[in-house]
Structure 1
Amino acid sequence: MNGSSKPQFWRDSRMPYVELRKVINGREVCYAPHSHTQWSLGAITEGQSTFLYRGNQLTLSEGNLVVINPHSVHACNPIKDQPWGYLMLYIDTDWLTNLRYEAGLLDKPHWEDIMTATMSDNGWYVGFCQMADCLLRSDRELLEKQTAVVEYLTALMHELSDQTAQPRIKAPDKLQAVAEYVKANAALEVSLDSLCELSGYSPGHLIRSFKHHFGLTPHAYQINYRIQCGQRELKRGKPIAETAVNVGFADQPHFQRTFKKLLAATPMQYRQSLPNHQVDTTGDE
């Protein structure tokens, strides 16, 4: 992967509710199906890519926006030998819920999914790119960046207010208990037998039912959650080797391979976006 294809991450500890990822040349940037705890909004800035979401695969082109609800399994990948560049904004779900509620767009401060998956309106695309540019520029003051984010997202939430989805069908209590058990024991080895005993399901029925409701098998769900925990550790400046063990991986190389498979970035690339890059590199490669 050449230097221009390396992802760049922007974060500011004074704005912990938002994170931005930028990829200029993403020909080799490939994602396995995964999910985020945040609501995500992305812009294709160059070329084309495929977008797997809600069981459908779409082709995205420059000028398109993508909208991804929290905990929704998805994958966006380049088309072979085609250029691809994009910006992706990750917004804390609780923060965005409160923004929508205070704007009078939600009856109560509880998250509601948005049905829209893609947008091709040039005005919203240009506005997104301008907001992203403001965040990425070091000569812009904090208040200007905060204002850009709030103004754009408030206007967009108004635009999408009629696209609120019906509440997701909640998984049966037995499956919900399995999901909570997997997360509570994410750093441990969990057996299928123990999950079957907990749920009362047969192995095949458990795997099929769990994937139907959560978009991933129990094992993939556990790995995805480990990576989410790893992201939080890295954002706090924890060494990569320590993070790998803390979130349940046998060693640092395994953590690094899995992290890159799901997030198309190495742990080092992700962590280096911390303010001033002042992190402890002990034990890192």
Structure 2
Amino acid sequence: MNGLTSTPPVFWRDSELPHIELRQVSDGRTVCYAPHSHTQWSMGAITGGESTFEYVGRQYHVSEGSLVFMNPEWVHACNPVDNQPWAYLMLYVDASWLASLRFRLGYLDAPVWQDIHCDVSTSADLYTGFQALADCLLNNGVSAEKKEHDVEAFLSEVMVSISEAAEQAEKPFPPAPESLRELARYLDVHCTDELSVEWMAERAGLSPSHLVRVFRKYFGMTPHAYQINRRVQLGQRAIRQGAPIADAALAAGFFDQPHFQKVFKRLVAATPGQYSRPPKRHSDRV
């Protein structure tokens, strides 16, 4: 991209904290995402520069100090502004684990996931807390027990802070019709199958053009893009479980590894090799 080079992203994971993943990008000028979604709830902090944030049809201009929040399966993308430097942190949290935490905090009647309707915050306290948590997680001198404690304490603070705004926020879209939800459930399970839009349209009882239009309305992407997004998520899961990249590509339904790498980078804004590489940790603080 215009001859720019950047420091590779850092991904932090720990088998003792399987419900948490951290991403750190120090120069995001070459980090460009296609619209995508995650199975986890996620939050990001812009730690330098500025970027765009597109989320379920809404567009924001965010800069250093901004926090963004993304529900599982909600389509979004963050990208640089005119090749200007920007840096960020991303925290990915298992939705079931977070639902259990919200239940214990009294924000849910049952430990079952409910979407949080809060997009952006400029809370200085949460921003500072996020940076401190990232330092803790990346520090190999800190025990897993301490990291677990800090994760729960910080996310409890986040849930308390954004709950009032979430209750007042406008919901982005109505529930999809059952025929589309059924098709989406089928794609969740059969995302590695070769399925034509004509076949999907027949299953949903719609014409191909109408299916593409209404599916995008309710899910934020076309049926084909939804299926590819699911495939990349399968590849990510395989890599997190230690599979070689070639095996992860096969698990995700890509029989051509270069194609897997190309699609993976477009949606994850990192190569499979970068995603699988353990971070360089520091131990200057405990």
In the superposition, the TM-score normalised over structure 1's length comes to 0.92
2:36 to 34, 37, 42: 34
Q: What is the correspondence of 1:21-60 to structure 2 with a 5 Å cutoff?
A: 21-60=23-62
Percent of residue pairs identical = 50
The one-letter code matched in structure 2 to 1:176 is R
Q: Give unpaired runs (5+ residues) of structure 1.
A: 277-285
Return the alpha-carbon distance in structure 1 between the equivalents of residues 144 and 126 of structure 2. 23
Q: Is the 8 A contact 2:43 2:67 kept in 1?
A: yes
Number of equivalences: 276
Question: Can you list the C-alpha shifts for 1:136-186, whole angstroms capped at 9, x where unaligned?
Answer: 111111121111100010111112222146696332111112112222221
Structure-1 residue corresponding to 2:222? 217
**What is residue 70 of structure 1 aligned with on the other side?**
72
Aligned counterpart for 2:81 among listed residues 59, 79, 82: 79
Whole-Å separation in 1 of the counterparts to 2:173 and 2:148: 31
Provide the C-alpha distance between the structure 2 equivalents of 1:249 and 1:184, rounded to a whole number of angstroms. Answer: 16
Return closer, same or farther for 1:137/1:122 CA change in 2, 3 Å cut-off: same
Deviation string, structure 1 residues 86-114 (Cα, Å, up to 9, x no partner): 00000000000000001111112222222
Tell me how far apart the structure 1 counterparts of residues 279 and 87 of structure 2 sit (CA, whole Å): 22
| Alignment map for 1:1-285 (pairs within 5 Å) | 4-162=6-164, 163-164=166-167, 169-273=174-278
Q: Structure 1 stretches (4+) deviating beyond 3 angstroms?
A: 1-4, 164-169
Cα contact 1:182–1:190 (8 A) shared by 2: no
Q: C-alpha deviations, 1:208-239, integer Å up to 9, x for none?
A: 11111111100000000000010000011111
Match of 2:48, SS state, is: strand
Give the drift of 1:4: 4.7
Counterpart CA distance in 2 for 1:216 and 1:135 is 33
Structure 2 residue identity aligned to 1:208: R
The alignment yields a C-alpha RMSD, in angstroms, of 1.9
Using the size of structure 2 for normalisation, the TM-score is 0.92
Partner SS state of residue 140, structure 1? coil
